[in-house]
């Protein structure tokens, strides 16, 4: 068996009690997720988080910490993902940027608005990352070590 985990990044971005989420199409339905995506070759985890957030939301962000590292196996396809989730603050929106294919658009929701719609979560990691952030999980960015 050839098992290959997928390394992904995500960002939790809060502004005045609302969280920047991505409404996107997944398996033919509109779902909510953090700005998230796959690590690309020759890219650091920090660079990937900033890039994915911009590509999916049109927002520049500043990473402020690491919220958590999660292992998740999607029940729909059996693929295992290792997600490194960052906390970030929104800096500037670029409304003129075209968003990634499949993205409906950025959405600002409260935790309660998101929690009321579990059928619209991309995975249970969406709310878990926000809850971990709200519980104070924030490790220094120096936790992430780039190759020397």
Q: What is the reported pLDDT for 36?
A: 97
Whether the predicted pLDDT of 48 surpasses 90: yes
Q: Could you give the domains of the chain?
A: 6-141 (3.90.79.10)
Q: Please, which pLDDT band fits residue 76 given cuts at 50, 70 and 90?
A: confident
Residue 60 confidence class, pLDDT cut points 50, 70, 90: very high
pLDDT of residue 1: 60
| Nearest-10 Cα torsion for 80, 143, 35, 115 | 80
Q: Is the pLDDT of residue 104 over 70?
A: yes
**pLDDT of residue 2 exceeding 80:** no
* Helices and strands (H and E) in the chain: how many: 3, 7
**Is residue 79 over pLDDT 90?**
no
The region of weakest confidence among 33-37, 68-72, 78-82 is: 78-82
Asked if the model's pLDDT at residue 148 lies above 70, the reply is no
Question: Which residues face 73 on adjacent strands?
Answer: 80
- Distances, alpha carbon 3 to alpha carbons 48, 55, 73, 123, in Å: 23, 29, 12, 21
Q: How far is CA 6 from CA 1, 16, 80, 110, 131, in A?
A: 16, 33, 6, 29, 23
Q: Is residue 27 over pLDDT 90?
A: no
Total-model pTM: 0.93
DSSP string, 132-144: HHHTT--B-GGGS
């Amino acid at each position: 068996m050839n098992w290959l985990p997928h390394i992904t990044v995500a960002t939790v971005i809060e502004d005045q009690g609302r969280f920047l989420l991505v409404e996107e199409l997944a398996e033919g339905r509109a779902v909510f997720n953090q700005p998230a995506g796959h690590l690309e070759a020759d890219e650091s985890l920090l660079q990937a988080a900033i890039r994915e957030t911009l590509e999916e939301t049109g927002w520049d962000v500043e990473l402020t910490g690491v919220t958590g590292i999660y292992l998740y196996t999607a029940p729909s396809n059996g693929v295992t993902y290792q997600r490194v989730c960052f906390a970030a603050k929104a800096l500037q929106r670029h409304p003129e940027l075209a968003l990634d294919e499949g993205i409906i658009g950025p959405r600002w929701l409260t935790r309660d608005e998101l929690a009321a719609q579990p059928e619209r979560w991309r995975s249970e990691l969406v709310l878990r990352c926000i809850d971990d952030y709200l519980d104070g999980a924030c490790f220094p960015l120096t936790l992430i070590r780039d190759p020397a």
